[in-house]
Amino acid sequence: MYKPKIKDIKNASNILRRIIEPTPLNFNQDLSNKYLANIYKKREDLNHVRSYKIRGAFNKMHSLVNENNLINGIVTCSAGNHAQGVAYSCNKLQITGDIFMPKITTKQKIDKVKKFGGKYVNIFLEGNNFDESFDISQKYSQEKQLQFVHPFDDEKVIEGQATVGLEIIEQLKDNKLDYIFLPIGGGGLAAGVSTYIREVSPQTKIIGVEPLGAPSMYESFKQNKVIKLDTINTFVDGASVKKVGELNFPICKENLDDIILIDEGHVCTKILEMYNEHGLIIEPAGVLSLCALDIMKKDIENKNVVSVISGGNSDVFRMTEIMERSLIYEGLKHYFKIEFAQKAGALREYILNILGKNDDIIYFRYTKIINKETGPVIIGIQTKNKDDIKLLINNMEKSGITYTKLTNVSDI
* Model pLDDT for residues 233-292, shown as the tens digit of each residue: 999 988 999 999 999 999 999 999 999 999 999 999 999 999 999 999 999 999 999 999
Query: What rounded mean pLDDT belongs to the chain?
Result: 93
Q: Are 35 and 300 in contact (CB under 8 A)?
A: yes
Fold type of domain 331-411: Alpha-Beta Plaits (3.30.70)
Q: What is the pLDDT of residue 376?
A: 87
Q: What is the pLDDT of residue 71?
A: 63
Fold type of domain 54-149: Rossmann fold (3.40.50)
46: confidence class by pLDDT, cuts 50, 70, 90? very high
Which residues lie below 8 Å from residue 279, measured CB to CB, with a gap of 6+? none
For residue 65, the number of C-alpha atoms closer than 13 Å in the C-beta half-sphere is 14
Q: What is the pLDDT of residue 107?
A: 85
Alpha-carbon gap, residue 103 to 126, rounded angstroms: 6
Q: Are 340 and 376 in contact (CB under 8 A)?
A: yes
Alpha-carbon gap, residue 100 to 151, rounded angstroms: 11
Fold type of domain 6-52+160-323: Rossmann fold (3.40.50)
Q: Where are the beta strands (DSSP E) in 263-368?
A: 304-309, 333-341, 360-366
Going by their DSSP bridges, the two strands 374-382 and 304-309 should be labelled as: unpaired
Q: What is the pLDDT of residue 69?
A: 63
Torsion of CA 95, 98, 103, 109, to 10 degrees: 0
Q: In Å, how far from its chain's centre is CA 240?
A: 7
* Domain coordinates in residue numbering, the chain: 6-52+160-323, 54-149, 331-411
Helices 6-16 and 188-200: angle between axes, nearest 10 degrees: 120
Evaluate if residue 80 carries a pLDDT over 90: no
More confident residue, 250 or 68: 250
Minimum mean pLDDT among 34-38, 320-324, 380-384, 405-409: which range?
Answer: 405-409
- Residue 245 in 3-state DSSP? coil
**Burial class, 62, CB count within 10 angstroms (exposed 0-12 / middle 13-18 / buried 19+):** buried
342: confidence class by pLDDT, cuts 50, 70, 90? confident
- pTM here is 0.92
411: confidence class by pLDDT, cuts 50, 70, 90? low
Return the CA Rg of the chain.
Answer: 24
- Asked if 6-52+160-323 and 331-411 have one fold, the answer is no
Minimum mean pLDDT among 62-66, 177-181, 331-335: which range?
Answer: 62-66
Alpha helix (H) residue ranges in 173-287: 188-200, 216-223, 248-255, 264-278
Length reported for the chain: 412
